[in-house]
Amino acid sequence: MIIILKENPDPAQLESFMAWLREKNFDIHESSGESHKILGLVGDTSSMDVDLISALDIVESVRRVQEPYKKANRKFQPEDTIIKVANTQVGGGNLTIMAGPCSVESEEQILKVARAVKASGATMLRGGAFKPRTSPYSFQGKGVEGLRLLSLAKKDTGLPIVTELMEIHQLEYFEDVDIIQIGARNMQNFNLLKEVGKQDKPILLKRGMSATIEELLMSAEYVMSEGNERVILCERGIRTFETATRNTLDLSAIPVLKKLTHLPVIIDPSHATGKADLVPSMAIAAVAAGADGVLIEVHNDPQHALCDGSQSLRPEVFDDLAKKLFKVHEVVSKF
């Protein structure tokens, strides 16, 4: 339920109203719109009398929220969420470029890629240490050693790091990680979502390959309902009948999500297409369509990459793309 308060409500009346709501054990989400304060009530509001609340002096209007997600709902918070990460931010008109290799492979590799993407203007370094691979016989990532190498690259370049968490117990190694990625395969691992909901770090939540937008938002709600409201949504392609690309990039998810939620939206054209030559056009389209950023796999030697080489850009191709992305973003920002 959403309660929109009148402008400058009487403080005493507001306090007693809030106390009454708290007594009813609602979780109250407060946000300020352009001129009005908005109270979002999470909990079972079925017994609440809308007419009674509407009749209060300080209340402008009351609406029931039909959608099952509340905290992620734009009706609860009209302004975009801006997530500060180290010296940069996700959302709020900033173009976030997360780039790096699918997997951290060696000190030489991660430093080379990190320095190159930083020089091209990437705002974050993304690399996998724990890898969710389709085959148990494929390279599974360097694990804790991979995290150590990411930290090294962070120290060297100053770029904040984004990396995937696959299991709750791995959290003990994530101290130096700036954004925790939850991969497509774990989008509905509800225990994992609840646990990262208790962490004091932003979460990059990837859309499951067969998940609807509402299911993605419900997974964000799992994280947010535990107290961590710093969730970044990532569209990374969905499964369709099409085989020309690894997945089908759902670019329409950008305007749909922008309408439904205040959370930032990042597009991953690398996993969506699976092909390096398709990545630049899809990344440009994503920024043109209003995405808050992109996630791009970059490798210094894609041919010999231990994971996802076919979709990884060489540093010089990434450099050219980054220049175009900043230009497109500048134009789109003026719309």
Question: What is the distance, to the nearest Å, from the Cα of residue 3 to the centroid of all Cα atoms in its chain?
Answer: 27
Cα-based angle 195, 198, 199 (whole degrees, multiple of 5): 100
If binding is defined by CB under 5 A, does position 272 make contact with Mn ion? no
Q: Which tokens sit at 233? A: 């949504």
If binding is defined by CB under 6 A, does position 42 make contact with ligand PEP? no
Of 297, 298, 292, 281, nearest to 329 (Cα)? 292
Question: By C-beta, is 40 or 293 nearer to ligand PEP?
Answer: 293
Give how far Cα 321 sits from Cα of 117, 204, 252, Å: 11, 22, 22
If binding is defined by CB under 6 A, does position 262 make contact with ligand PEP? no
Per-residue interface string for the shown chain with Mn ion, residues 102-131, x marking contact by CB under 5 A: x-----------------------------
- Shortest Cβ distance from residue 96 to Mn ion (Å)? 18
Contact 259, 74 (CB under 8 A): yes
Question: By C-beta, is 72 or 295 nearer to ligand PEP?
Answer: 295
Q: Which tokens sit at 268? A: 């991953």
Per-residue interface string for the shown chain with ligand PEP, residues 146-185, x marking contact by CB under 6 A: -------------------------------------xxx
Per-residue interface string for the shown chain with ligand PEP, residues 291-320, x marking contact by CB under 6 A: ------------------------------
- Shortest Cβ distance from residue 238 to ligand PEP (Å)? 10
The runs of H, that is alpha helices, within the chain are 11-23, 50-54, 107-120, 144-157, 190-196, 213-225, 253-260, 269-273, 279-288, 315-333
In whole angstroms, give the CA distance from residue 298 to residue 99: 6
In whole angstroms, give the CA distance from residue 265 to residue 164: 17
If binding is defined by CB under 6 A, does position 208 make contact with ligand PEP? no
DSSP 8-state secondary structure symbol assigned to residue 24: T
The binder of Mn ion chosen from 257, 258, 308, 329 (CB under 5 A): 308
Per-residue interface string for the shown chain with Mn ion, residues 193-212, x marking contact by CB under 5 A: --------------------
If binding is defined by CB under 5 A, does position 268 make contact with Mn ion? no
Residue numbers 97-156 binding ligand PEP by CB under 6 A: 102, 128, 132
Q: Which tokens sit at 47? A: 């017994």
| Footprint on this chain of ligand PEP (rule: CB under 6 A) | 102, 128, 132, 183-185, 206, 236, 271
| Footprint on this chain of Mn ion (rule: CB under 5 A) | 102, 308
